[in-house]
Structure 1
Amino acid sequence: MRTYRVLVNHEEQHGLFPAELPLPGGWREAGFSGSEEECVAFVDRTWTDMTPLSLREAR
């Protein structure tokens, strides 16, 4: 079973990334890793507003 990490970018958008690979540029760890299903469930629970940060701040 592959392990994934949940990542967050500067716009607070979330993504899943294989845990064994180095972090891609512009992304940081969100503090959660697990199976793909576990990571998707974490993202569903925590990323409730998909509006990019820059647009939320402009409101």
Structure 2
Amino acid sequence: MMTEDRYAVVRNDEEQYSIWPDGRETPAGWHREGTTGTRDECLDHIERVWTDLRPLSVR
């Protein structure tokens, strides 16, 4: 049985979201948002919370 990779939802200072492999150091300029799960779970979460895709500096 194959296990699915785990990811963390990350967000930058412009409030843009992405996913990053859980367990790896978060890249500079990004912060863990608190959600972890499978790729699909994380992407579903981002779709629910990231409703305004414009960077914070443009809003």
TM-score tier (shorter): over 0.9
5+ residue gaps, structure 2: none
Structure 1 stretches of 4+ with a deviation exceeding 4 A read: none
Q: Which has the higher helix share?
A: 1
1:5 aligns with 2:40: no
Deviations 1:1-53 (A, max 9, x none): 11000000010000000002101000001110000000000000000000000
Match of 1:7, as an amino acid?
A: V
TM-score by structure 1 length?
0.92
| Identical columns (%) | 39
Query: RMSD of the alignment, in Å?
Result: 0.5
Aligned mates of 1:11, 1:22 — CA distance in 2: 20
TM-score by structure 2 length?
0.92
1:38 aligns with 2:41: yes
Aligned to 1:23: 26
Q: Give the total of aligned pairs.
A: 56
